[in-house]
Amino acid sequence: MNNEKKKFDLIVIGAGPAGYVAALRASQLGIKNICVVEKDRPGGVCLNWGCIPSKSLIHSAETFDSRKDLEKMGVKIDITGFNFGSVYKQSRKVTDILSRGVAFLLKKNNITLIQKEFKFVSDYELESEDGEKITAEKIIIASGAVPRSIPNVDIDEDLIISSKGALSLTTLPSKVLIVGSGAIGVEFAFIWNSFGVEVHIVEIMENILPMEDEESALLIRNLFEKKGIKIFTKASIDKIEKNGNKSSVSITANDGTKIMEEYEKILIATGRKASTEALGIENTSIQLEKGFIKVNERFMTNVAGIYAIGDVINTLQLAHVGSREGELAAEYISGKKDIHAIDYNFVPKCIYCQPEVASFGFTEKQLKANNVSYRKVNFPYRINGKSVSSESTNGFVKVLYEENKKNILGAHVAGHNATEIIHELLLIKEANIAPQKAGNIIHAHPTLSEMIMESMKMIEGCAVNV
């Protein structure tokens, strides 16, 4: 065994959206001899077992569900030959393509990729299980997050599964329970329901999508229930007993009623926690806070030269946030000036069920709780020409703004393609474009983006189509 240490100028732990972007940006800025270590495939959890394969499943679910539109036209469709295994294979094909793309970018930028699990043996030194040692004066930790379970419940990836287990299914269960109704829970509810699975959701909070605008959450709940999804809010799981290939679950409903149900699969979708346990943090001086790596506003830990970004720190656990943090960390390390920091209040959050939900900024509930005066406009999808013509009229565009009209406090879009059109509102906010000017920009007709124009005109009191 060769005990010689390999010395790099920068080591990045993790090749997910935060880590690989940090490495590429560092290379752009002139940092040489960069090493990325990744125990799995390039792209991290998001690309391999999260954001990307789930969107492939959602696309397949939408395609499968759209057969109902053809049936309205008199087309008879025989689905007896349907094989969910082909849906799974397509989702893995997508991840393979994009993972190879990340590996190509790293190679193109002369970045060393070592596909092994490394852990700290001291502040600036890491070692793999087979004894390979690497060191650097600058290290970025981007080890991501892992699924969080609930008390007294072990995720076995058989009967009780995480999102990774859900993405690994090659056959459809007949009946599932989803514990938690954030983005992951709601997206899988949509996927499985679209393929004909009986779906139940248990949420401990008052509403599903508890971090989103209440009006958005109510819209999704009503539409889900119309599709046959059974939803228990302000409810809790009392006990789970495994019985062969199924599990019996005791649920306490919001009125105190005890409910017993049997499920083929139980998806635990109650969030994720920072992945720090396998890093060897105990062998370093790095400080943790509430389970996350503690960093300052420049993403540096308490150890000089060691940075942390992405889901391993206590910011928004979103891939696009991690990527931006990766860019910023590289810029801080390189000494770049005029760095545009992140305002975490105004990051887009997107949920890809149908209809979609997208937002940034504050909700009405948050503004009221903080005694912030605001006004709002709400433009419904049902009077937008493109929405009506494409039979996608469920939804709205809501903008919350200061009474002086100069500042958008929050925007919430629920409806078809919400995750795309939210960005025009964010641009208006970030570029400080006055509602009058934004409303005067001519939008092509018919388009969904006309609703943004109409919302700005509503703020000015001059909308003619509402």
CATH of the domain at 266: 3.50.50.60
In 3D space, the residue among 131, 130, 166 whose CA is nearest the CA of residue 147 turns out to be 166
Q: Which residues pair with 241 in a beta bridge?
A: 248
Active-site option among 320, 340, 423, 445: 445
Residues spanned by the domain of 411: 355-460
Question: pLDDT value at position 375?
Answer: 96
113 occurs within a structural domain: yes
252 and 128 share a domain? no
223 and 294 share a domain? no
* Average pLDDT for runs of 10 along the chain of length 466: 83 98 98 96 95 98 94 92 97 98 98 97 96 97 95 94 98 98 98 98 97 97 98 96 94 94 97 94 96 97 98 97 98 92 96 98 97 96 97 97 89 98 97 95 98 96 91
48 and 195 share a domain? no
Question: pLDDT value at position 3?
Answer: 67
Question: pLDDT value at position 333?
Answer: 97
Question: pLDDT value at position 403?
Answer: 86
Question: Which CATH number is 449's domain given?
Answer: 3.30.390.30
Amino acid type, 166: A
152 occurs within a structural domain: no
71, 184 contact by CB (below 8 A) = no
370 occurs within a structural domain: yes
Distance CA 167, CA 47 (A): 12
Tally of structural domains, the chain: 3
116 and 252 share a domain? no
345 occurs within a structural domain: no
State which of 245, 270, 295 marks the end of a domain. Answer: 270
4, 80 contact by CB (below 8 A) = no
Q: Which residues of 289-303 are buried (b: 16+ CB within 10 A; e: fewer)?
A: eeebbebeeebbbee
Question: pLDDT value at position 392?
Answer: 96
350 occurs within a structural domain: no
Amino acid type, 179: V
Segment (H or E) for 166 = helix 163-167
Q: Are strands 175-179 and 198-203 parallel, antiparallel or unpaired?
A: parallel
191 and 257 share a domain? yes
207 and 313 share a domain? no
In 3D space, the residue among 302, 305, 304 whose CA is nearest the CA of residue 287 turns out to be 302
Question: pLDDT value at position 31?
Answer: 97
445 is catalytic: yes
Other CB atoms closer than 10 Å to residue 346's CB: what's the count?
A: 16
Other CB atoms closer than 10 Å to residue 324's CB: what's the count?
A: 21
Distance CA 298, CA 281 (A): 20
Task: Give residues with Cβ within 8 angstroms of 255, minimum separation 6.
Answer: none
Other CB atoms closer than 10 Å to residue 354's CB: what's the count?
A: 20
Question: pLDDT value at position 2?
Answer: 58
Question: pLDDT value at position 172?
Answer: 98
State which of 286, 304, 334 marks the end of a domain. Answer: 334
10 and 32 share a domain? yes
Question: pLDDT value at position 395?
Answer: 98
Question: pLDDT value at position 424?
Answer: 98
294 and 265 share a domain? no
* Residue 277 dihedral angles phi and psi, to the nearest 5°: -65, -30
State which of 222, 245, 270 marks the end of a domain. Answer: 270
15 and 143 share a domain? yes
105 occurs within a structural domain: yes
465 occurs within a structural domain: no
128 and 171 share a domain? no
Helices (H), 84-133: 84-108
10 and 140 share a domain? yes
Say whether 122 sits in a helix, a strand or coil. strand
343 occurs within a structural domain: no
Helices (H), 372-417: 385-389
277 and 141 share a domain? yes
